[in-house]
Amino acid sequence: MVLEGLSLVLTPTCLSLIAFGVVIGIIFGSIPGLSATMAIVLFLPLSFGLPTVDGISLLVGLYLGGISGGLISAILLKIPGTPSSIATVFDGGPMADRGEAGKALGVGILYSFIGGMISIFALIFLSPYLAAVTLKFTPVEYFSIAVFSLTIIASLSGKSLMKGLLSGLFGIAISMVGMAPLDGLTRFTFGQFQLLSGFSIVVVLIGIFAVTDIIMAGFDRKNLDKQMEKKSYTLKGFGITFKEFREQIANMIRSALVGLGIGILPGIGGSTASLLSYTASKNASKHPEKYGTGIIDGIIASETSNNAVIGGSLIPLLTMGIPGNTATAVFLGGLTIHGISPGPLIFEKSGAVVYGIFFALIIANFVMLIFERAGLRIFVKLLDIPKHILLPIVMVCCVIGAFTNNSRIFDVWSVMGFGILGVLFKRMHIPSTPLIIGFILGSMAELNLRRAMQASAGDISVFFTSPISLVFLIVAALSLVMTLRRSYKESKN
Partner 1 sequence: MGEKIKEIICSVIFAVFGGCMYLEASKIRPVMEKDLGSGFFPKIVGLSILLVAVIQLIQTIKREPPKDKNQDADEDTKGGLFTIAAIVGYTILYDLLGFILSTVLYLFVQICILSNRGNRNYKLFAAISLITPIIIYGLFM
Secondary structure element (H or E) that encloses residue 119, with its range: helix 101-134
Bridge partners for 186 per DSSP: 179
Residue 20: exposure state from Cβ atoms within 10 A (0-12, 13-18, ≥19): middle
Angle at 258 between CA 257 and CA 260, to 5 degrees: 60
Is 413 in contact with 419 (CB distance < 8 Å)?
Answer: no
- Looking at 156, 240, 430, 444, which residue binds partner 1 (CB under 8 A)? 430
Binding string, residues 12-51; x marks residues near partner 1 by CB under 8 A: ----------------------x-----------------
How many CA atoms, within 13 angstroms, populate the side-chain half-sphere of residue 188? 11
Hey, what amino acid is at 397?
Answer: C
- Min dist. Cβ of residue 1 to partner 1 (A): 39
Looking only at residues 394 through 423 of this chain, which bind partner 1 when binding is defined by CB under 8 A? 395-397, 399-400, 403-404, 409, 412-413, 416, 419-420, 423
Pick the closer one to partner 1 by CB: 96 or 399.
Answer: 399
Say whether residue 173 binds partner 1 (CB under 8 A): yes
Looking only at residues 174 through 203 of this chain, which bind partner 1 when binding is defined by CB under 8 A? 176, 180-183, 185, 187-188
Say whether residue 462 binds partner 1 (CB under 8 A): no
- Min dist. Cβ of residue 15 to partner 1 (A): 24
- Min dist. Cβ of residue 419 to partner 1 (A): 7
Pick the closer one to partner 1 by CB: 326 or 404.
Answer: 404
| Residue whose C-alpha is closest to residue 116's, from 328, 367, 365, 360 | 365
Secondary structure element (H or E) that encloses residue 70, with its range: helix 52-76
Looking only at residues 431 through 450 of this chain, which bind partner 1 when binding is defined by CB under 8 A? 442, 445-446, 449-450
For residue 244, the tally of other CB atoms under 10 A from its CB is: 14
Looking only at residues 209 through 248 of this chain, which bind partner 1 when binding is defined by CB under 8 A? 211, 214-222, 224-225
Say whether residue 120 binds partner 1 (CB under 8 A): no
The Cα–Cα gap between 160 and 448 comes to: 30
Is 318 in contact with 345 (CB distance < 8 Å)?
Answer: no
- Min dist. Cβ of residue 241 to partner 1 (A): 38
Pick the closer one to partner 1 by CB: 126 or 173.
Answer: 173
- Min dist. Cβ of residue 105 to partner 1 (A): 23
Pick the closer one to partner 1 by CB: 43 or 359.
Answer: 43
For residue 149, the tally of other CB atoms under 10 A from its CB is: 28
Long-range contact set of residues 323-326: C-beta below 8 Å, sequence gap at least 24: 323/266, 324/263, 324/264, 324/265, 324/266, 324/267, 324/268, 324/269, 325/37, 325/266, 325/267, 325/268, 325/269, 325/270, 326/37
| Residues lying near partner 1 in the complex (CB under 8 A) | 34, 160, 162-163, 165-166, 169-170, 172-173, 176, 180-183, 185, 187-188, 211, 214-222, 224-225, 386-389, 391-393, 395-397, 399-400, 403-404, 409, 412-413, 416, 419-420, 423, 427-428, 430, 442, 445-446, 449-450, 453-454, 457-458
